[in-house]
Amino acid sequence: DTGVSQNPRHKITKRGQNVTFRCDPISEHNRLYWYRQTLGQGPEFLTYFQNEAQLEKSRLLSDRFSAERPKGSFSTLEIQRTEQGDSAMYLCASSALGDTQYFGPGTRLTVL
């Protein structure tokens, strides 16, 4: 399977804990995006990378959120001191230069 992969697929954590998600993009894609989606809403943009450079971050992304893409391949999204409001599906997408984004299956986070 050469699509976008995300791990883990599900994460249950207690409030206050830190969590980290991983995204492996399609190998030839140099852009990688993170979105958050809650029930009944469309995906909300969080941040995106072109190669290893983080080019834009949403104002939605508080100081508790950080994303990295150290070698321009896979990316990690870390949430520190999780809150119940962080419960959502976290989606990763990748694209070549241009706009068509291909999404991974997402990581569903539940904060108890």
Binding site for another protein (CB under 8 A): 31, 33, 35, 40-45, 48, 50, 55-56, 58, 91, 97-106
| Angstrom distance (rounded) from CA 17 to CA 7 | 18
Residue written as token pair 């399609």: 26
* End-to-end Cα distance, the chain: 33
Complex with another protein: residue 74 or 103, whichever CB lies closer = 103
Tokens coding 38 = 């809650």
CB of 91 to another protein, least distance (A): 6
Minimal distance in Å, beta carbon 55 to another protein? 6
CB of 4 to another protein, least distance (A): 8
Q: Fill in the DSSP letter of residue 85.
A: G
Return the number of the residue (82 or 106) whose C-beta is nearest another protein: 106
Report CA-CA distances (Å) from 52 to 5, 31, 41: 18, 9, 29
